[in-house]
Chains A and B, each alone.
Chain A
Amino acid sequence: MVKVRAGGEEKPEREEVVEPLEEPTPERRKERREEPPPRKKPEKISA
């Protein structure tokens, strides 16, 4: 029996499931790019 597989011998080490809170899409990426960066809180200066 000849088994032909793309990529040859693969030898995987481990697997995991990674999920973003919100899936990236081109539209969401554009929206986030247009959002202004978060403002820094002013530092408290002791008198």
Chain B
Amino acid sequence: MIIPDRVGTIVGYRVWRVIPGKWVALSESLHAQTCQRSWSTTGPTVAYCPPRIQGDPNKPLVMSGSCEEAPGFGCACGLYARYEPTEEEHLLPYVMGSVLAWGRVVHHEDRSFFRAEKALPVAFVRPRGGSGVFPGEAEEKLYCIVEALGAGMVEDPEELRAYTEVEARKW
């Protein structure tokens, strides 16, 4: 049993990629911005550390072990979020939102982000347009994700911050 350092949750902000279309299940439709890993649309997402391949041109590929508990302090695994929302506007399929995070948390204060063991999306900033192939479908899918997560939809980063801080106080 791990004794927590403190009680509560940590507020974070991040960008996801919405996978449009009916051919992808809702449960597989909220992805990290840059990788193919999907976030849960029914509950908290739990981090895991996948085994990594280390390549040496002169040797056979080596599969290195994953962290026993994600996020590992010296690893890159975990659920990423920034401490502050960015003012940057995101076009679909990318969407900015907020999370409540908890469990093991590794802080990278110098670089303004943390990596958490568990996180639940809280709210999303309403997208102002799309740049992908199917922006209409991505928007439709986003509203389904919001509904499934019981999340909020806000108009701008300032409202996102206010909404998320109120939510965080409940836990």
Contact = CB atoms under 8 A, between A and B. Distances in A.
A24 B8 CA distance: 10
B74 A12 contact: yes
A18 B111 CA distance: 20
A43 interface: no
B171 A2 contact: no
B76 A10 contact: yes
Interface range on chain A: under 10, 10 to 19, 20 to 34, or 35 or more? 20 to 34
Contacts, number: 105
B68 interface: no
B102 A19 contact: yes
A17 B4 contact: yes
Given A3-B54, A15-B107, A24 B44 contact: yes
B119 to A, nearest CB: 10
Interface in A1-47: 1-7, 10-27, 29-30, 32-33
Nearest to B35: A6
A37 to B, nearest CB: 11
Contact of A19 (B4, B52, B76): B4
A14 B102 contact: no
A13 B151 CA distance: 31
B87 interface: no
Interface in B102-136: 102-111, 115, 118, 120
B167 interface: yes
Given A3-B54, A18-B102, A24 B9 contact: yes
A12 B73 contact: yes
A36 to B, nearest CB: 14
24 contacts: A1-B54, A3-B54, A4-B52, A5-B52, A5-B76, A7-B76, A13-B107, A15-B73, A16-B105, A17-B3, A17-B103, A17-B104, A17-B105, A18-B7, A18-B8, A20-B7, A21-B171, A23-B44, A24-B171, A25-B43, A25-B44, A26-B149, A26-B151, A32-B170
- Minimum-distance CB pairs A-B, first 7: A26-B150, A19-B4, A20-B171, A16-B5, A7-B76, A17-B4, A30-B150
